[in-house]
A and B are shown apart, each in its own frame.
Chain A
Amino acid sequence: MEFFSRREFVCRGAGAALLLPFIVGGCEKRMTPAEAAKGDVPLRTLTISEEAALRLLGDLLVPGSSEAGLVHYIDHQLSVPAGENMLMIRYLGVPPPFVDFYRSGLKALNAAARQRHGTDFGVLTEEQSKALVADFAASKIADWQGPPLPLFYFVVRSDAIDVTYGTAHGFASLGVPYMPHIVPPSNWGA
């Protein structure tokens, strides 16, 4: 077995660091999820309504997660084989494909928003969305039709934490030294 030296900062494919492939205009382009979010890169899996709901939910659970690329991170991970998946959900006893879990959860969130305010979650006012998320976090949404509410909250919150604080950039934002042996070739897989 060939080992790496004690502090040999290996960056495989240095030019591709922090990048993953997105399809833009029919061509593959490598960029960070944050760049993909900023550039409005088309999603692979999630619908427009799901994207809007997830973006708002993420930012209300962990501010900054939307800018960090939460939607593109989850969307990308839902399209890769289960063995390459990096989502927290793979630890939690939910069988793949995980898209069903997210889709049914976001559908239930939109349904709860429509029941209360007659519109999807992603277009609620700030006051309305904050009140709904408070009940969401406390598992107090009546007639919830999605996956177990505490689990869905935990999963989406964990994803939002991952993109905001779980990368080298996130560590730096907290003043935590990253100290890698092997630098991730991208934030979350490629």
Chain B
Amino acid sequence: MPAGHVDALIVGSGATGSLIAARLAEKGKTVAILEAGPERTAGDLVSSTLWARRLKWSGARVIETGSRPVGHGFNAGFGTGGSATHHYAVWPRLHPDDFRMHSRFGRGLDWPISYDELRPYYDKVQLEAGISGDAKQESWRPPGAPYPMGPVPVFGQGKVIARGFEKLGKKTAPLPLAVTSAPYNGRAACIWDGWCDAGCPIGALANPLTIHLPKATAAGATIHHATRVTRILTSEDGARIIGVEYVQGPKDTRGGLEADLVILAAFAVENPRLLLASANAKHPHGLGNANDVLGRYIMSHSAGLVYGFFEERTEPYMGAFGGQLVNQDSYPKETHAKRGAFGSYQWMIAQAVKPNDLLGISTTRPDLYGDAVAPFMKRAVQHFAGMTAVCEDLPVADNRVTLASERDAQGEPIASVAHDAAPESTSLWEASLAEGKEVFAAAGAQEIWSGSRGAMHIMGGTIMGRDPGTSVADSYGRVHGVRNLYVAGPGLFPTSGGVNPTFTALALAQRAAEKM
């Protein structure tokens, strides 16, 4: 641990924390990253669905309530790289209407910035991390620089599903993936073996271990594992941060570190938990919580899961975990208004699947047991195909992170996350299943079924906005009322859109880092 003081202290080594660490260290700042979880290197990324579970959350308990739990245990990571170490690198952009949803439709919230303001940062991150895709084929894509690598390959699974979209007069395009379809900046090309969820040890997938942590440490940043920040300390007048307290190592050794700048990049649940737990006399309800907005508007995409069997061999184990193709015909917010739905969704088509695990083949039919299992599995590994709709979750104020009365082993209050879905979001998910089944029928599927409503990604909780009365941070993530405290990550999103959040979180982090 650095002695006493650093220029910038970053809580969490995930996607955004690593990017900001790299940028600030490159500016010559002294930077320390405090990571609550263990150290992980490429050699720890074992190719196994079972071993992959060790990459997921194993910190303090998070209580989940409400009818639609956010799935923190699956969606959050723990250790070097955070959740981005096991993320699937599906990197589409939000659309302009996602940033002005309240203004345009009277629903949800507005962002304090527009797509046009964020666009150059999308382009910068894209160039640095590398995205494979075909911008011209993505007719829905907002303006932006073309992808630096060509599209990912399409295997049998993608081909049969694309046939269904085509028969219905709909389009597909290569899925934009931050995975190397060709050698890129010294990184090897992917070999499409579908182990993304277990972490990518060959550097093909743009996770923090591959992209930003090496740059950060090369520029002098230090990373300290098994070091959990327990409290953010302010000056006596409450106007600025002076440092943090932490517990470290197996014996929970307590310590403190002063910093000129503190950036919380510990994901959408831990960030507000820490801000709430840091309440003091000047901030009696938590830092950035003068108006009871902190912790609110937690969102999680609903997964619309559609599966089928096809006569052809589909090689469902080949490709990337995120998929091969994309369709965003249902991105306009009112596409499914007749069904009572509001919001956007995209299809991630033909994701590589393994026989087991939460997203594996066997779990698509959890009702099968006994003698029905083996025939299903043997057929599925040859003829299965699937796709997933990323369904927008409208921001609801009562969906929130609060402090529970229960304390963890270190005596800290644990987080409780309440989440229910707005009726329009539920209708949107139902609409996705109806469309997906229609596509599979058009594609000639022999059997079609759908999955239960999964929770993908976690956003909100520390939303950004122009008005300090209705948001936690400004467009750079700077927390209202405390001049040197920032939040980074998808927790800043005021709306979820219908696409995967990592790319947008990184673009916001790049923009913030340039400002810091």
Interface residues of A (CB under 8 A from B): 1-8, 10, 12, 60-64, 82-88, 90-93, 95, 130, 133, 137, 154, 157-158, 161-162, 165-167, 170-171, 174-185, 187-189
Pairs across A and B, CB under 8 Å, 17 listed: A3-B210, A4-B43, A8-B202, A62-B369, A84-B54, A88-B53, A95-B61, A130-B370, A133-B369, A174-B355, A175-B381, A180-B46, A181-B201, A182-B201, A183-B46, A184-B51, A189-B50
Contact with A along B198-222 (1 / 0, CB 8 A): 0011111000011001100000000
A82 / chain B contacts, CB cutoff of 8 Å: 58
Say yes or no: A12-B43 contact (C-beta < 8 A), given A3-B188, A90-B58: yes
Quick one: which of A2, A61, A158, A174 contacts B42, CB cutoff 8 A? A2
Tell me if A4 and B378 are in contact (CB < 8 A).
Answer: no
B291 contacts partner chain A, Cβ-Cβ < 8 Å: no
Report the minimum CB–CB distance from B376 to chain A (whole Å). Answer: 11
Interface residues of B (CB under 8 A from A): 37-38, 41-43, 45-51, 53-54, 56, 58, 61, 64, 69, 71-74, 78, 187-189, 191, 193-195, 200-204, 209-210, 213-214, 317, 354-358, 360, 362-363, 366-367, 369-371, 373-374, 377-378, 381-382
- Residue among A10, A85, A182, A183 with the highest chain B CB neighbour number at 10 A: A182
Q: How many Cβ-Cβ contacts under 8 Å join chain A to chain B?
A: 167
Tell me if A182 and B46 are in contact (CB < 8 A).
Answer: yes
Tell me if A83 and B73 are in contact (CB < 8 A).
Answer: no
Given contacts A10-B43, A175-B381, 20 further A-B contacts (CB under 8 A): A2-B41, A3-B203, A7-B191, A8-B202, A64-B374, A88-B357, A93-B64, A137-B369, A158-B358, A161-B355, A162-B356, A165-B356, A166-B354, A166-B357, A175-B382, A176-B317, A179-B317, A181-B195, A181-B202, A184-B48
Report the minimum CB–CB distance from A155 to chain B (whole Å). Answer: 11
Q: Can you name the residue of chain B whose Cβ is closest to the Cβ of A168? A: B48
Measured in the bound complex, the distance between the Cα atoms of B49 and A176 in whole Å is 14
Quick one: which of B38, B41, B195, B362 contacts A180, CB cutoff 8 A? B195
Quick one: which of B45, B49, B194, B317 contacts A166, CB cutoff 8 A? B49
B358 / chain A contacts, CB cutoff of 8 Å: 88, 91, 158
Q: Main SS of the interface on chain B?
A: loop
B38 / chain A contacts, CB cutoff of 8 Å: 83
Report the minimum CB–CB distance from A124 to chain B (whole Å). Answer: 15
Measured in the bound complex, the distance between the Cα atoms of B204 and A152 in whole Å is 38
Quick one: which of B41, B72, B371 contacts A63, CB cutoff 8 A? B371
Measured in the bound complex, the distance between the Cα atoms of B72 and A92 in whole Å is 9
Report the minimum CB–CB distance from A109 to chain B (whole Å). Answer: 14
Tell me if B73 and A93 are in contact (CB < 8 A).
Answer: yes
Tell me if B362 and A165 are in contact (CB < 8 A).
Answer: yes
Report the minimum CB–CB distance from B471 to chain A (whole Å). Answer: 29
Say yes or no: A90-B53 contact (C-beta < 8 A), given A4-B42, A82-B58, A83-B58: yes
Tell me if A60 and B370 are in contact (CB < 8 A).
Answer: yes
Measured in the bound complex, the distance between the Cα atoms of B210 and A86 in whole Å is 25
Tell me if B214 and A1 are in contact (CB < 8 A).
Answer: yes
Report the minimum CB–CB distance from A131 to chain B (whole Å). Answer: 12
Report the minimum CB–CB distance from B267 to chain A (whole Å). Answer: 16
- Residue among A2, A181, A184 with the highest chain B CB neighbour number at 10 A: A181
A1 / chain B contacts, CB cutoff of 8 Å: 41-42, 203, 209-210, 213-214
Say yes or no: A184-B370 contact (C-beta < 8 A), given A166-B355, A170-B355, A179-B193: no
Tell me if B373 and A3 are in contact (CB < 8 A).
Answer: no
Q: Can you name the residue of chain B whose Cβ is closest to the Cβ of A94? A: B73
Report the minimum CB–CB distance from B446 to chain A (whole Å). Answer: 19
